[in-house]
Amino acid sequence: MRLNSKAVGIIVLVVMLGGILLTTQLGWWQTESGGRGAGNHDGASESPPEVMTLRGSVNSYDGRCLTISADDGESIYIELGNFRYNRTIGFAPQIGERVTAQAFIPGSKTVYSAITVTIDNTGKVFTFRDALGNPLWAGKNAE
């Protein structure tokens, strides 16, 4: 099959337009929704978020999120963030292990985002976000 120059020109135009639209939408997704929150990743701002201390035993961990059972029996879901980052820092809590999390609820969310999680029996602290709630795996914090 031979394509004439007009057909090739139309194909090139469609591909370029598709690339522009994709790039525009991807850029919007990364800035507006941050892939997860509004604006500055997870809804973090230039002022420190209201941080809560959450304590309990690990129910589940899937590489990105942690669910703990608090002492009062409440099940608490905590987003940690990027799977690769979590693996790189060696975060791998065991089911039943007691943890203490410093976390906040970003303005656009209804679940907690962890700043730090401490494994209680070892005292090892894993840091996921800076004091402003910005993720350590993205933006100016990325290594």
CATH code for the part of the protein at 52-141: 2.40.50.580
CA distance 120 to 108: 30
Q: Where are the beta strands (DSSP E) in the chain?
A: 52-61, 65-70, 75-79, 98-104, 112-119, 124-127
Beta-strand ranges (E) seen in 13-97 are 52-61, 65-70, 75-79
Phi-psi region of 96 (alpha: psi -120 to 50; beta: other; left: phi over 0): left
Contact 95, 60 (CB under 8 A): yes
**pTM for the full predicted model:** 0.67
Quick one: pLDDT at residue 4? Answer: 74
Q: What pLDDT does residue 135 have? A: 94
Domain boundary assignment for the chain: 52-141
Question: CB of 78 within 8 A of CB of 68?
Answer: yes
pLDDT of residue 47: 78
Segments of the chain with pLDDT less than 70 = 1-3, 7-9, 11-46, 139-143
